[in-house]
Amino acid sequence: MLDVKICGLSTFEAIDAAIARGASHLGFVFFEKSPRHVDLAEMAELVDYVQGRAQTVAVTVDPSDDLLARLAGDVGVDWLQLHGSETERRVAEAKAKTGLKVMKALPIAGIDDLDRIEPYRSVTDAILLDSKRPQGSNLPGGNGLSFDWRLLTALDRDVPFMLSGGLDSDNVEEAVRIARPAGLDISSGVESAPGIKDIGRINRFFDALERARETDVQGEDQS
C-alpha cells in the first residue's frame, strides 16, 4: 500500500476529502511566498482538526531554530518536511531539537542528483524526491512540474522514497509503474488554481491510483 501525502492544504473540507480517500499524510506549507502558505495559528487549527486521522506534515524551507520549536510545540505536527538547502547536519539537528519525524526533500533533474540521497538516509525518516525549481519560480516546491521518473530505475531498490513533482490523475499510473515509489506526494495536480484545492481532482487522483493498483495486481497474477 502506497503512502499518499496531499500537500498545501488550507481548508477543513479538503482535509476531510483527502482523509476519506485514504491519504496517509497531510502537508501544510509555511513559506510566505507560497500561495499555499498558512501561518502558525492557522496551521495549529488545521492540525487540531485532523485529530490523528492522518499524519500531519509542516512543510518548511531552511527553518530557524525558533520556527522549529514553535512547529513542535505550539503547532504539534507529526512531521517536518525540509524543502530548502538543509545539510545532513542541519537535518539531524532539526530532528534532535524537535523530536519530530523528518522528511528531507531533494530535487532531481539528472542521474548525478541521485548521489545526494545516500548521505541523508541515516538522518531522516523519509526522503522525498521532487523536481528542481524551474528558472523564474520563487517556490522550491509545488511547481507542478515532473522530472524524468526513468532516472529512478537506477536507484537501489532498498531506498524507499516518496515521489513528488507534477503528479496528477492522468500520469500517476505511469509514475508508479516506472518509479516504484514507497509513497506519493501531490499538490498542484489536485488544485483548480495555485493554493485552491479541488475536491473533484482529489477524488479523481485517488480513483486513478486505485486503477493503477488494480492493473498492478492483475500484472502480478499473470506473471
Ligand X SMILES: O=C(O)c1ccccc1NCC(=O)[C@H](O)[C@H](O)COP(=O)(O)O
Return residues touching ligand X (CB under 6 A). Answer: 7-8, 27, 29, 31, 34, 36, 59, 61, 83, 130, 139-144, 164-167, 185-189
Nearer to ligand X, 108 or 186 (CB): 186
Nearer to ligand X, 85 or 153 (CB): 85
Residue 200 burial by CB count (10 A; 0-12/13-18/19+): exposed, middle or buried? exposed
The residue at minimum Cβ distance from ligand X is 142
Q: Shortest approach of ligand X to residue 80 CB, angstroms?
A: 12
Nearer to ligand X, 56 or 214 (CB): 56
Alpha-carbon span 206 to 188, nearest angstrom: 15
Q: Shortest approach of ligand X to residue 97 CB, angstroms?
A: 20
Nearer to ligand X, 117 or 218 (CB): 117
Alpha-carbon span 100 to 79, nearest angstrom: 6
Neighbours of 61 (CB within 10 A): 20
Take residue 90 and report the three cell numbers written for it.
Answer: 542541519
Take residue 163 and report the three cell numbers written for it.
Answer: 515521489
Q: Shortest approach of ligand X to residue 104 CB, angstroms?
A: 11
Q: Shortest approach of ligand X to residue 218 CB, angstroms?
A: 28
Alpha-carbon span 194 to 36, nearest angstrom: 7
